[in-house]
Amino acid sequence: MLPVLDNLERAVSAEGSFEDLKKGVEMTLKQFKGSLEKLGVDEISIDNGFDPNYHEAVMHIQDENYGNNEIVEVFQKGYKRADKVIRHSMVKVVN
């Protein structure tokens, strides 16, 4: 985690264009996600529809264009390590 902190501190103190800053932050984000993967932390998938064990429905809608219990928007990503939820995904679900 310290290399991520180092890179963020460098990005904040660096001079340059917005695009340079954005590129630096994107590279640091990729590095941080890699660190989480090494620790066994994975993003919770939304591909199989709403599951209260992994998702928190913070909004419900009715829309005939989607299937029942389909997740149509993610407000905040969730994460797990093995089968233990670290944080539930906050999602919008079709009823």
* CATH at 57: 2.30.22.10
Q: Return the ∠ at Cα 15 (arms to 13 and 20), rounded to 5°.
A: 105
Q: Are residues 89 and 51 in the same domain?
A: yes
Looking at residue 45, the DSSP 8-state letter turns out to be P
Stretch 8-24: mean pLDDT, rounded? Answer: 84
What phi, psi does 59 have (nearest 5°)?
A: -155, 140
The alpha-helical segments, DSSP class H, found in the chain are 2-13, 18-38
Q: Are residues 27 and 57 in the same domain?
A: no
Least confident interval from 9-13, 23-27, 83-87: 9-13
Question: Which domain, by its residues, includes 67?
Answer: 43-94
Number of domains in the chain: 2
Residue with the bigger pLDDT between 43 and 16: it is 43
Q: Are residues 89 and 47 in the same domain?
A: yes
Q: How confident is the model at residue 44 (pLDDT cuts 50, 70, 90)?
A: very high
Q: Are residues 25 and 55 in the same domain?
A: no
The answer on pLDDT for 38 being more than 90 is: yes
Q: Are residues 55 and 76 in the same domain?
A: yes
Structure confidence at residue 70 (pLDDT): 96
Q: Which distant-in-sequence residues (6+ apart) come within 8 Å of 3 by Cβ?
A: 31, 35
Q: Are residues 30 and 49 in the same domain?
A: no
* Percentage of the chain exceeding pLDDT 90: 72
Q: Are residues 9 and 28 in the same domain?
A: yes
